[in-house]
Structure formats: structure tokens, C-alpha cells
Chains A and B, each alone.
Chain A
Amino acid sequence: MFSVGQYIYDPERLIFYQNGYGSHTIQKIHSCIEPNDNYESLHEKLNAYNADEIQIKPGALNRAGICLTNNCNFRCNYCSASSVEGHKESLTIEDVMAFVTDVMKRYTINKLLGNAEEPLSLYFTGGGEPAYDWDLFTNSVVQIRQKSSDNNIPLILGITTNGLLDESQRVFIADNFDSVMVSYDGMPEIQDRNRKSVHDSRHSESVEESIRFFSKAQIHLSIRTTVWQSDFCRLKEMADYIFGNFGIGMEWSILPVIPTGRAMNRVQKEHEKLRESDFLAPYLDTVEYAKSKYGAVNIGTPVFQDIVNAFYCGAISIYCTCPWLMPDRTIITCIESCDVKTVIGKVEGNEVVYFEKCPDPLFKVYQKQFDECRKCIAYRFCKGGCPVRQLMNGNVKTMMDDWECVMIQNYWMNIFQNVLDGKEYLGWRGSSVEIDGLEDVEVLKLTKV
């Protein structure tokens, strides 16, 4: 139970009631409103698996991802994969097509089972820059499109790119992809500081040109802005630059720097200062500001999971619904996991092989966090959080370790306070629950609008 102003928040039931009710009243509330967290059964499900020897073999699939290369022509100062150039590991077109053929077969299983209402979704991202090896990239895309057409499989292609593209490359992506996410850090000055290009000093102009091009093409465009804690105060300026220069037709996704990968260089030096930066208030301010100034703009952040969750995400490996092919030909469960990845299979001799059993370090951490985080106010939404974050920094401890947790806790506390003030807030409201025999008792259920 948690105190939120004059109320008690009961996370097992997602309800609020006035602080100060007697034990008899509280017992009556509890007896009339069943817990809906299913903790025991979810706990049992998770613990039915031995993370040291787990079988994660995808069956039917609607989604998969391909990381063509770890090479990148940018040296972003927060890159979680610490990408550089010169990696020798690279997929061949045969590797890509073996993986895609297997995925298409698994999609077809879904179709036969009546579960393939959506097209097959394939995503290119990094690791490195997907378009780095342009020949491999274009060959892959053309052959995938051809195969989907030959087999009458509806297909959606998506890509995340650093946007350093020439005109013909932009045209190719616009012609062949359904969605594109361009990484761009809000305004030229910050882009140039954070996302240095190795080969092109005028890279922010080129990236902006790509964004302008895609904003006019028939393609779903997102801009991913990664923001250092010290730049949170500049989010409104970024909103003006982005919506002012590229229009309001795209989605703007804002991600605060998470202390992993290359970001650790700075975090280790400045953690004391960085941890003081609050993302929540400037983020919410910016959303409100942009909506009032530009109208119906689409701004979001992947940090706050805005739903009541059973588990953290689909990348929890036992429920892996999106396998990723990596440049070393391994197949993993989570593209964010870098060197702490769970390898569930590989492409070998143009065949996809899923292992009968494998160790799953991510799942092991998740099992632990699922229990340990139960006493957190954000538990029903976060469910222990991302296991990758727990593992990625090895034994390097900084004052930023709990930064993301505190931010998520503040986010939910903020929603609760607004909901209890009678507002509809960030898609949530409190709906009144009537309990027989307790006419004067106020109970509110947290409800998604």
C-alpha cells in the first residue's frame, strides 16, 4: 500500500481509497474487490523455467528483426552498442534470406491458425547503421520484397537509420519501406555535439534533408531524439525546431540517455550532477507546449509504459515474439541487449537452427526483478523493468543506477495525483466503485480512458 495525498493506493487492485478508513472498512473493500494482479500465477509461470537451461523456440511469428551490421559511420556519445567501424562480422544475403524464409514459414503458421490479421513485420535496425553496407542492404530489401510477393505474404518493412543518406538512398527507402525512424537530436547544435559523423562534417544538414524528404513521402516517419540530462531544459526549443522545420505529420519520440554503452564515459564522470536532472516535468511541459502551439502533434517516449502489464515486454525471452538476426549470424531475443544477449539460435549453412536449450541471462535477472520490485509503486506498469539495464554495465556502479526507476515512479505518482484531483490525465482517470453497505466510502479504480 502507498500513500498518495489523502488516499491509499492499493496496487494489487489498482484502487484508491481515503486514508483513515478503519480496518473493518478496508476488509470490506478488499472482500468486494478482488486483486487483479495475478501475481501468484505469473510468479509460478516465470519460475517454472530454469534460466540456465531454457528452451526458447519460436513457433508462429508475426514480427522479426534484422541487424545487418555493427558498423556505423557515427560515433554518438551515448550509443548503447558503442558502435564503430571495422567490424569484420557481417551477414551475407544468403544468411538474411535463410532467416527471412524461416520467419515467413512461421508467419504462415500464424495464417493457418487464423492469427495473422496483421501483415508480417520486418524491421532493420542496429547495432550499427542498417544502410552502412548499401549493397547488402538493398539486396536484402529487394529479395525480401520479392519473396513476400512470390509467396503472397503481406509485408511491412521498417527501418531505424542515422539519416546520413544521399538522394538516391532516400528514394530507395521511401519506395520500399512503410516506416522510417531517423535518429536526430532535436536541433543542429545538439545533433552535431552528440552524433558526430566520421566522414561527413556537414552531417546534420544531410540528416535534416533526409527528414524533410521522408516527411513529404508516403512513409510513416518518426524522429528519435536522444537527450542528455543536461539538455532536458531545451526540449521546448527542440519541439520548435522539429515541428517548425519538418511539419507536424511525423511522430517525435524522445528518449533520455540511459547510462549504458558509450554514455558510461560521461556518466562515470558526471553522475552526481546528471542524476539531479528531472526528465518528467520538462517532458510533460514540452508535450503540453507543443500541443497548444502546433495542434495535434504526436510526441511520446519509450520510457513510460503506459499500460497495466503482466510482464515487462515481449522481449522477455520465454515469450519472445520477435527474434533478431545479428551480424554474427546468431539469433537473439532482444535487439537492445548488445553483449548481454540471449542467443536462441543461429543461421548456419543457409539453415536456421534454434537451440533445444540455452542459458538465458536476461530471463534470470527478470525472474529476480519480478519479485524484488513488487514493493515499488510503479510495479503494475513496469513489472521489474528491463533486465538488459540490470546487466549492461557489468559491475560498474554509479549514482545513475536507479535514475530510470525514480523517474518512472515519479511519472506514476504524478498520474495518481492528477487522477485523484478528478482529472483525466495522460490517458487515465479514476472511476468510482460502489460497494454495498459502504455508501459513504470513496473508492476509485484506476482506469485507462
Chain B
Amino acid sequence: MKLNGIEVNIQQVNMEQVDGVFIIHDSVSKKVIQLNETSSFVWKMILEHERISDDLDLVTSHIVSKVLEVYEVPEDEKRDVFSDVEKILKDFLDTGLLLVKSMEKSCLKLEKGGGIEWRLNF
């Protein structure tokens, strides 16, 4: 699938949801990751996007608009949502949940972020 114009793969992981929050086990890195509510929402969007429209580009602004649709975000915090989503996507890449197919990773211009609640090594 394409994310912000870049070909990415979703890592083969085992996952379950508790109260809509994803808990993910990456058997390769032997890590368990719990996403927070917002990053679970974004992760679900990515999974859905891959399932139904693999060849279309999923862009940050589209994710942001969906977040704003679903969550009641105060007016003065709306501008933060874009950077929050960028941080979440960066986390997905950093933790290996998303794998960049090409070498254009830097084009995502994502900053270090925090949508991950737990990281447990097993």
C-alpha cells in the first residue's frame, strides 16, 4: 500500500483488540506493543486501507480529517492533530510495524513521537 506516496508493507504480526485498543505481538522482534486509543484508530485505518484500496495513496491529511470526524477535538487543539498523526506514523515505522519498500523513508518527514503505550520484550 501507499502511505504519503511511499510504498509500505504492514509487518506480519499477531494482534488483538481490548476496548478498541490494539495489542500487537511482533514475533520477529519478540516485542509486544500496545497502541493508545488514537494510534489504534490510525492503525485500524491503515489496516482497512490495505484491505480495501491497496493501490490508493493514504495521506496524513485524510487520516487527520477522520480523526477530527470521530473525536471531539477542541478548536485550539485541532492544529496539533496533524503533528500527532505524523508522530504516530513515525512510531509505526520506527517500531517496524510499517516497513518502507523503497529508500524514500526520509520523504515522510516524520518526527519522533509517542503513540505507543507499552513496549515489552519477551
Question: A residues touching B (Cβ–Cβ < 8 Å)?
Answer: 59-60, 101, 104-105, 108-109, 111-113, 147, 150-151, 153
Contacts and interface: CB of A to CB of B under 8 A. Distances in A.
Nearest to B117: A105
Contacts of A150: 19
Given A59-B120, A59-B122, A104 B15 contact: no
Interface of B: 14-19, 21, 23-25, 32, 34, 120, 122
B16 A112 contact: yes
Given A59-B120, A59-B122, A109-B120, A104 B25 contact: no
24 contacts: A59-B32, A59-B122, A60-B32, A60-B120, A60-B122, A101-B19, A104-B19, A105-B21, A105-B23, A105-B34, A109-B32, A109-B120, A111-B16, A112-B14, A112-B15, A112-B16, A112-B25, A112-B32, A113-B25, A113-B122, A150-B19, A151-B18, A151-B19, A153-B18
A12 to B, nearest CB: 33
B19 A108 contact: no
Contacts, number: 38
A209 B15 CA distance: 47
Given A101-B18, A151-B17, A151-B18, A108 B120 contact: no
- Which secondary structure dominates chain B's binding surface? strand
- Which secondary structure dominates chain A's binding surface? helix
B23 A108 contact: yes
Contact of A147 (B15, B19, B32, B120): B19
A89 B113 CA distance: 38
A117 to B, nearest CB: 16
Given A105-B18, A112-B25, A113-B32, 20 more contacts: A59-B32, A59-B120, A60-B32, A60-B120, A101-B19, A104-B18, A104-B19, A105-B21, A105-B23, A105-B34, A109-B32, A109-B120, A112-B15, A112-B32, A113-B25, A150-B19, A151-B17, A151-B18, A151-B19, A153-B18
A105 B24 CA distance: 11
B18 A108 contact: yes
Contacts of A101: 18-19
A118 to B, nearest CB: 17
Which has the most chain A C-beta neighbours within 10 Å: B17, B18, B24? Answer: B18
Contacts of A151: 17-19
A109 B25 contact: yes
B93 to A, nearest CB: 22
Contacts of B18: 101, 104-105, 108, 151, 153
Contacts of B14: 112
Contacts of B17: 151
Nearest to A152: B16
Contacts of B34: 105
Contacts of B122: 59-60, 113
A59 B121 CA distance: 9
Contacts of B25: 109, 112-113
